[in-house]
Structure 1
Amino acid sequence: MLRSAGFEVQLYASAEAFLQETVAPKPDVVLTDIQMLGMSGLDLQSILKTRAPALPLMFMTAFPEDALRKRALDAGAICFLSKPFKATELLYWIEKALSA
């Protein structure tokens, strides 16, 4: 869906794989899940705050707990989307992140 909207998309098998990538260009925005195998999205956010503090980070989750939402947003996330969400909602937040 994002490619059909004109975005260049790079997928990673894990947060660790994303952090180890040295060849790909720097992303304009990161969309990550909260719960993943290995490192969580919140752990990734913590590392990215140090490595790339201006990089917009967006969360999505099937487990929209208020405490997780608050923690992610308080730490600077652009948004916290609860699955399922509409494509228009995702596109709105991506455009907002890119224009910030």
Structure 2
Amino acid sequence: MISIIDDDLSLQVALVRLIRSLGYNARGFASAEEFLESGVIADCSCVITDIQMPGMSGIDLKRVMEERGSNVPVIMITARTESSIEVDALASGALCFLRKPIDTKVFIDCVTRALKA
């Protein structure tokens, strides 16, 4: 299963639909906390998360996942433009970093790469 975590419901739904159209199982979450509380980490083959969200950030989520022993590949997305965000995301261990609006081809390439990791 691929988990998509984004507080922007329209983007979350669009990404879930895109992933499903590719033949994969996908589930959306409105926050990192909701995702962690769901208990699905062990069933995930990839996590796609927004970086900037109310509550826990995507970068903090990646750290918590590692603390819990998860090595699931993480793709991080953001609407922010500062270069330091990309540096922080990649330093946290994100497999891919994407800016909104998301290029569909690049997104699919990242998901494919994550599923092979």
TM over 0.5: yes
Q: Deviations over 1:20-61 (max 9, x none)?
A: 112686210000001111111111111012114421011011
TM-score using structure 1 length: 0.90
- Aligned pairs for 1:18-37 (under 5 A) are 18-22=35-39, 26-37=43-54
Question: Alignment identity in percent?
Answer: 39
Runs of 4+ in structure 1 off by over 6 angstroms are: none
Q: Structure 1 residues 23, 40: closer, same or farther in 2, change over 3 A? A: closer
Contact 2:59–2:92 (CA<8 Å) still a contact in 1? no
Q: Which residue of 2 aligns with 1:42?
A: 59
The equivalent of 1:5 in structure 2 is 22
Q: CA RMSD in A?
A: 1.6
TM-score by length of 2: 0.78
In the aligned structure 1, how far is the partner of 2:71 from the partner of 2:36? 16
Number of corresponding residues: 100
Greater helix content: 2
Return the match for 1:91 from 93, 108, 114.
108
Q: In proportion to residue count, which structure has more strand?
A: 2
Matching residue of 1:57? 74
Change (3 A) 1:17 1:79: same
Secondary structure, in 3 states, of the residue corresponding to 2:20? coil
- In structure 2, the gaps of 5 or more residues are 1-17
Distance 1:35 1:24, change over 3 A: closer
**Rounded Cα–Cα distance in structure 2 between residues aligned with 1:65 and 1:73:** 14
